[in-house]
Amino acid sequence: MSLSIVQSIPLITLAGPPNSGKTTLFNFLSGQNYKTVNYPGATVEYSISCFQTKFGLTANLLDSPGIVSLTPSSPDEKISIESLYAHPHLGTPDLIIATVDASQLSRHLLLARQLIESKFNVIIAITMADLLKKRGHELLVDELKKALGCEIVVVDGRTGSGIDILIAAIEKNIKTDHLKPEPLPYCCNLEIDRLIHSYNEIEIIERRVLREIPSNGDGAANLIKANKQLKILNQPETKSIKSHLPDKTTLNIDRYLLHRYWGLFFFFMIMAATFTSIFWLAAPFMNWIDALFGYLADLSLAAFGFSWFGDLIANGIISGAGSVLVFVPQILILFLILGLLEDTGYLARGAMLIDNPLSKIGLNGKSFVPMLSGFACAIPAILAARTIPNRRERLLTIFIIPLMSCSARLPVYALLIAFLIPADKPWLGGVSLAAIYIFSIVSSITIAGIANKLKNRIVKEEDNSSFILELPAYRKPQLKVVLINTYHSAKIYLKKAGPIILGFSIILWLLTYFPNVDPKIDTNNLSETEIIQLKNAERLSNSYAADLGKFIQPVMTPIGMDWRVGVSLIAAFAAREVFVSSLALIFKVTSDNETLQNSLLEAMHGAEIESTGKKLFTTSTIIGLIIFFVFALQCISTIAVSKKETGGWRIPILQLIAFTGTAYVLTFITVHGLRFLGVQ
């Protein structure tokens, strides 16, 4: 057991239900300087940090995932709860700070009381007392202390008020010489009765500790409250317990945003705005990054002369790093917008609105955000699928995410569409691109439906499909917290995808550079740049990559293509957009960057299949290639992340075979179907 690890400094764990202000408090205490780590072997995430130095406390601070109670409802919750008892690395917490939202006292006291009953060492941090006041109630802290028998502090993680009292309470608590807590497992044969009983007790406490703030000295309400009778188990009462009403403003906004018909309309408007801003706002930054890395590559080529070493630095490492970083702007903007939407409280409502259609294909309302993220990049999307509690639905969501048209496909589509449409009708390009997106959405829904039908073969888990989600009160988002979370998401992307993409692009560089390092070419009448580009092209056509391409020629012939396309498709496994630059290399396109696309298009128009002399790129093969890119899983980092997040090779291998296989078959059908119809 890893419990034997001796921890020299105390472990303080924050625990609380979702939306209880737990993470806000964590951010305040840690100074937003934290690490996000997975529980070993699991997809449950936790953040670990130390207290800010200004608090003068030496202790580990752990932010545990939000839970409603100590009885797990899903495998992931089980891990979260087990780790609350005994963290695999950090052991049992010396102290738990349980966050309780004052405006939802009865719901949030459930977990706090379970923690106390299980003999944890607990301090309760009451949050959102201001919200309670706005609703006309105040909390009698001393009464609650008496009722629960533990220290209680009212804090505000946004403004920091009450934090000094909390710190003092923690200090006093951990300095007190008591035995290390040995919490008892919380389980019960009569779970349901115990829950109802627990709530009844909490209601009694609630009546005692909540006082209506008298308006103009009218305190009569208290008396009525105090006279309320004790409720008997499972018996309806003649009069309901006075629970506070939900936030008025929230109810008014929801009248529109959750309207039966308009709700979906607003939802699609908000999602369309999110979606377009991912592309529009990120585009200039992506171009800068692209240009910067191009410039750096040129610099290093010039610095190291045109040796193999310089080439490795420029085309292996620098452009590899560039193809990782180029997606960072999109990921930042995506997480910024999603973070803002989540912090305002809208994202939970979006999940509610879309739950019914998604449940028809075996998904969940909570699958929506990961799927939307998939349009930027599959890697953060697969990571976002962690928020789906049901394991079956989560695996199915991860399964179809690679079908979302990620932005790495965009440069490929741009090139292929440019080949198809006449130069005098540029508007057709936009229409075609929109058509490709719609086609990919429809196909992914179809495939999800099919996968759901074959569910027991693809996703073996059985799990009760459920959608129970709190719709938090609308509030102003905290930009600072959202920005920090955005930064962390980008960091996770770089950590997960970075080494894989970089490593693979170096391997690809090796394959395309060796063995013919210094090819002989006819250098008459050629400028220096042209000589270099010709050499590059010559080197590639004699490289290991070309050998590999020729090896897979028999696979490419049936779909009307040859080894050159095959090599580019293999190269695209590093990142899909590499397809374009690889084609340019193979077709020996020699010109400066600004007209690269035009020269490449020209070369493509002229290209012939070597053995038959027929045109290689025709309308039918180009459409075939587009179909191939819609379906094929051509991304080594997606496979790696999918393996990590699904906990095995089953799903990623299934994805690779199913999607790339579908891509190949559909490309075959498209190319030959079109030719049969007379489209060359």
Partner 1 sequence: MRSASELKFGEKVIIYSLDGNHPSCRRILEFGFTPGQEIELVSKSAFNDPLAFAVRGTLIAIRKNEAECIKVA
Which residues lie near partner 1 (CB under 8 A)?
68-69, 71, 73, 103-107, 110, 135, 191-192, 195-196, 199-200, 231, 233-237, 240-241, 243-246, 250-251, 254-255, 258-261, 263-264, 348-349, 352-353, 355-357, 359, 365, 464, 466-473
Could you write out the DSSP letters of every residue in 529-552?
HHHHHHHHHHHHHTSHHHHHHHHT
Is the CB of 473 or the CB of 501 nearer to partner 1? 473
Cα–Cα distance measured from residue 63 to residue 45, given in angstroms and rounded to the nearest whole number: 9
Cα–Cα distance measured from residue 136 to residue 103, given in angstroms and rounded to the nearest whole number: 10
Is the CB of 6 or the CB of 233 nearer to partner 1? 233
Is the CB of 87 or the CB of 137 nearer to partner 1? 137
**What length does the chain have?**
680
Measured from the CB of residue 389, what is the shortest distance to partner 1 in angstroms?
A: 10
Question: What's at 124, amino acid-wise?
Answer: I
Q: What is the dihedral of CA 267, 269, 272, 277, to 10 degrees?
A: -110
Is the CB of 173 or the CB of 452 nearer to partner 1? 452
Distance of CA 63 to CAs 12, 133, 187, 333, Å? 9, 27, 23, 25
Measured from the CB of residue 135, what is the shortest distance to partner 1 in angstroms?
A: 8
Helix (H, G, I), strand (E, B) or coil at 153: strand
Burial class (CB in 10 A: 0-12, 13-18, 19+), 471: middle
Measured from the CB of residue 373, what is the shortest distance to partner 1 in angstroms?
A: 22
Is the CB of 352 or the CB of 545 nearer to partner 1? 352
Measured from the CB of residue 455, what is the shortest distance to partner 1 in angstroms?
A: 17
Measured from the CB of residue 257, what is the shortest distance to partner 1 in angstroms?
A: 9
Measured from the CB of residue 144, what is the shortest distance to partner 1 in angstroms?
A: 16
Is the CB of 226 or the CB of 423 nearer to partner 1? 226
| Angle (CA) 386 388 393, round 5° | 115
Is the CB of 473 or the CB of 639 nearer to partner 1? 473
Cα–Cα distance measured from residue 472 to residue 19, given in angstroms and rounded to the nearest whole number: 7
Cα–Cα distance measured from residue 387 to residue 407, given in angstroms and rounded to the nearest whole number: 23
Per the listing, tokens 């063995």 go with 515
Is the CB of 55 or the CB of 186 nearer to partner 1? 186
Is the CB of 77 or the CB of 562 nearer to partner 1? 77
In the DSSP assignment, the letter for residue 418 is H
Write out 117-150 in H/E/C secondary structure.
HCCCCEEEEEECHHHHHHCCEEECHHHHHHHHCC
Is the CB of 103 or the CB of 620 nearer to partner 1? 103
- Tell how strand 210-212 and strand 11-15 pair up: unpaired
Measured from the CB of residue 267, what is the shortest distance to partner 1 in angstroms?
A: 9
Measured from the CB of residue 634, what is the shortest distance to partner 1 in angstroms?
A: 36
Is the CB of 356 or the CB of 593 nearer to partner 1? 356
Cα–Cα distance measured from residue 53 to residue 69, given in angstroms and rounded to the nearest whole number: 32
Token pair listed for 260:
């039966």
In the DSSP assignment, the letter for residue 53 is G
Is the CB of 210 or the CB of 418 nearer to partner 1? 210
Measured from the CB of residue 489, what is the shortest distance to partner 1 in angstroms?
A: 25
Stated as kind and residue range, the H or E segment containing 372 is helix 368-373
Q: What is the dihedral of CA 342, 345, 348, 350, to 10 degrees?
A: -90
Neighbours of 271 (CB within 10 A): 16
Measured from the CB of residue 481, what is the shortest distance to partner 1 in angstroms?
A: 21
Per the listing, tokens 């220096």 go with 528
Cα–Cα distance measured from residue 660 to residue 640, given in angstroms and rounded to the nearest whole number: 16
CB 397 within 8 A of CB 426: no
Measured from the CB of residue 106, what is the shortest distance to partner 1 in angstroms?
A: 5
In the DSSP assignment, the letter for residue 247 is P
Is the CB of 191 or the CB of 610 nearer to partner 1? 191
Per the listing, tokens 């199913």 go with 658
Measured from the CB of residue 498, what is the shortest distance to partner 1 in angstroms?
A: 37
Helix (H, G, I), strand (E, B) or coil at 322: helix
Measured from the CB of residue 219, what is the shortest distance to partner 1 in angstroms?
A: 22
